[in-house]
Amino acid sequence: MSTKIHACTDALGNGVCLRATGGQAGDCPHLPALLEGLAPGQVIADTSYDSDKNRAYCAEKNIDVVIPNRPNRTAPAPFDEEQYEDRNKIERFFNRMKRHRRLATRYEKTVVSFLAFWHVAAALDWLR
């Protein structure tokens, strides 16, 4: 009965890709789908996207990974804490989305309708 929104932004914080999944879905499996069709030089994500599979995917595509390690990771991977500070751009993107009541309260009852409204809002520059 809940939804989770996964998003990508460019270096300026503008929305590039948006996916909606069930609220119980984990974040890790959705990283490759978010990056599909994009050619990023770097991925900055929060701890919930930390997995060996995601790191391998990014290494295969020559994408730098800036993801903090999960606490239970046995072999911690290095990450640049200064670059991680740029993750605030995705947080600011979500705050801009929440300014629009229709998006914040998810009036649309289906994922298709919700994502369609997001694309219209982005096209009209409401989310920039």
Q: Which tens digit of pLDDT belongs to each residue from 3-31?
A: 788 888 888 888 888 888 877 778 888 89
Distant-in-sequence contacts of 30-34, Cβ < 8 A, 24+ apart? 30/6, 31/57, 32/57, 34/6, 34/7, 34/8
**What is the model's pLDDT at position 66?**
92
Strands 15-22 and 3-9: what pairing?
Answer: antiparallel
Mean local confidence (pLDDT), 119-123: 64
**What is the model's pLDDT at position 6?**
86
Evaluate the CA torsion angle 85, 104, 25, 123 in order and state its sign.
Answer: negative
Looking at the predicted structure, is the pLDDT value of residue 108 above 80? no
User: Quick one: which of 124, 102, 123 has its CA closest to 113?
Assistant: 102
More confident residue, 40 or 114: 40
More confident residue, 117 or 7: 7
Dist. CA 76–CA 122, nearest whole Å: 37
Q: 12, exposed or middle or buried, with CB in 10 Å at 0-12, 13-18, 19+?
A: exposed
* The pair of three-digit structure tokens given for residue 8, joined into one six-digit string: 């990508």
**What is the model's pLDDT at position 57?**
93
User: Quick one: which of 53, 50, 40 has its CA closest to 78?
Assistant: 50
* The pair of three-digit structure tokens given for residue 112, joined into one six-digit string: 């298709």
